[in-house]
Amino acid sequence: MEQIFALTKGNFAAQAHVGLPEGTFEEEHGRDGFFGRVSHLYHAHPPTGWTRIEGPLRPHAINTLELAANGEPVTFLYNDDVALKLTRPQAAMAYSYRNADGDDLYFIHRGTGTIETDFGPLAYEPGDYIVIPRGTTYRLLPATADNAYLLIESKTEIRLPDKGMLGRNALFDAGVIQTPTPAPSLKADGEWELRVKRCGEITKIFYPFDPIDTVGWKGDLTVWKFNVRDFRPVTSHRYHLPPSVHTTVLARNFVVCTFVPRPLETDPDALKVPFFHRNIDFDEVIFYHAGDFFSRDGIAPGMVTFHPQGIHHGPHPKALLNQGKKAHTDEYAVMVDTRNPLKLTPEAEAVEWKDYWASWGAHA
């Protein structure tokens, strides 16, 4: 709906995130992520200033590096559209793998290696996003001993967003995307195993040759990757932009956004920390990759925060107090926002930081 005017009541700021009335805490109460109808509420207290929560709804934090490290992916959050997993392979996969259930998007948190695919091999390193279309045969060959990859499994095709008014070269230019060139081993010795996942079940298919034997390909469906160092965020010196401006890839009912170091707003009246919100149309997940996570106390690389729809989140008290002191952010993080509620797995609950909900406590 086209917005022509805003209703205004009581003590309010004429523009969102700018010149908040003295002593108030701004909340953005909006629909459709940060794109729909919206009101800004000016609270007398931070909405995260709770003293106790009874019932299942609360913010969560887990250290994904503590999930069982048997080399297989461990799911920590999931719904019908997407599953978030962490995998810590300790050696090269002894089989090839094909996911018939969805696209696989890897984010390399730790470790280097090579992924061999139907389309050819690609070397990878920390900060790489690797998109593997559904049905592609591949295997991971880590070159390092300490590996941690975030795996986002999507039921629907992973695509690039429409960059809209920013233009098609914004955020990252397609020129930085790397695609594989075939280099098959063409080995036809022994037995080669291919594991296909379909409806969550594995079928093993055996060949007397390496099934990754493509000698050439053409088309526009392939494995591709790019590194977060090539991600060039948009910022405004006068207006705190919503996190959705960092949308990197998307699929049905979820988006993946990338936070990289960026300058903070310089206008003295502009808000410099994320605004409070109850994200009523999206569950929000952030995987912290590297750097200093300025709006969150107690968060280290490899941790994930999960803010379900309906309960507020926003900056920690220290971030709010220090917002005038920092000139830029230092964080690298991957955000996954899902339209449908996510469920935490028992494996995730086992390594959960149980008191995360209380980490805004100094507000109270």
For residues 23 and 2, give the distance between their C-alpha atoms in angstroms, rounded to a whole number: 32
Fill in the per-residue mask, 18 to 57: x = in contact with Fe ion (CB under 5 A), - = not in contact: ----------------------------------------
User: What is the H or E stretch that residue 321 is in?
Assistant: helix 317-321
Q: Given its phi and psi angles, is residue 199 left (phi above 0), alpha (psi -120 to 50 degrees) or beta?
A: left
Burial class (CB in 10 A: 0-12, 13-18, 19+), 70: exposed
At residue 166, the 3 state secondary structure works out as helix
For residues 11 and 29, give the distance between their C-alpha atoms in angstroms, rounded to a whole number: 16
For residues 354 and 113, give the distance between their C-alpha atoms in angstroms, rounded to a whole number: 34
- Residue number, 104 or 284, with CB nearest to Fe ion: 284
CB of 29 to Fe ion, least distance (A): 13
Q: Which stretch binds Fe ion (CB under 5 A): 27-35, 91-99, 169-177, 282-290?
A: 282-290
Is residue 345 within 8 A of residue 78, CB to CB? The reply is yes
Q: Which stretch binds Fe ion (CB under 5 A): 110-118, 175-183, 276-284, 350-358?
A: 276-284
- 283-322 binders of Fe ion (CB under 5 A): 284
CA distances from 57 to 31, 236, 274, 298, 342 (A): 20, 34, 21, 21, 12
For residues 238 and 182, give the distance between their C-alpha atoms in angstroms, rounded to a whole number: 48
Single out the residue of 44, 321, 340, 104 nearest to residue 225, CA to CA.
104
- Residue number, 27 or 284, with CB nearest to Fe ion: 284
Q: Does 265 bind Fe ion (CB under 5 A)?
A: no
CB of 313 to Fe ion, least distance (A): 6
CB of 284 to Fe ion, least distance (A): 5
Other CB atoms within 10 A of residue 297 CB: 16
- Residue number, 178 or 323, with CB nearest to Fe ion: 323
- 127-166 binders of Fe ion (CB under 5 A): none
Is residue 330 within 8 A of residue 292, CB to CB? The reply is yes
- Residue number, 116 or 284, with CB nearest to Fe ion: 284
- Residue number, 153 or 284, with CB nearest to Fe ion: 284
- Residue number, 106 or 287, with CB nearest to Fe ion: 287
Residue nearest Fe ion, Cβ-based: 284
Place of tokens 């699929």: 251
Count of residues near Fe ion by CB under 5 A? 1
Kindly state the tokens that stand for 350. Answer: 């086992």
- Residue number, 26 or 284, with CB nearest to Fe ion: 284
- Residue number, 226 or 275, with CB nearest to Fe ion: 275
Chain positions contacting Fe ion, by CB under 5 A: 284
